[in-house]
């Protein structure tokens, strides 16, 4: 859906893009906290929409590392000897 020249994804489209259910996105929206930010969304009237660029940025921030390891430690371990 395009509004004022900006392409918005519906909840169903966004869920399909990241491989979760519509219900999961609904749960995430209801659990927005300062300590655990969730996927950004836009509410226009009574409808919820997502921006594809927001989904991409959010996905990049979802990296997880083995417990007790930092990114630079993992990169160092992957270097050839």
Could you report the per-residue pLDDT of 20-47, keeping only the tens digit for each? Answer: 999 999 888 887 655 566 788 999 899 9
Question: Alpha carbon of 33 to those of 3, 36, 57, 58, 74: distances in Å?
Answer: 28, 5, 18, 15, 29
Domains of the chain plus CATH, in order, are 2-78 (1.10.10)
pLDDT score of 5 more than 80:
yes
What pTM, to 2 d.p., does this model score?
Answer: 0.68
For residue 7, the 8-state DSSP code is E
Residue 75 confidence (pLDDT) = 58
């Amino acid at each position: 859906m395009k509004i004022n020249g900006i392409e918005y994804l519906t909840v169903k489209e966004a869920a399909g893009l990241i491989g979760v259910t519509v219900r999961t996105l609904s749960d995430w929206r209801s659990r927005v906290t300062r300590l655990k930010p969730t996927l950004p969304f836009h509410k226009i009237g009574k409808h919820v929409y997502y921006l594809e660029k927001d989904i991409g940025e959010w996905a990049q921030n979802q990296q997880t590392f083995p417990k007790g390891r930092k990114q630079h430690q993992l990169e160092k371990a992957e270097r050839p000897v």
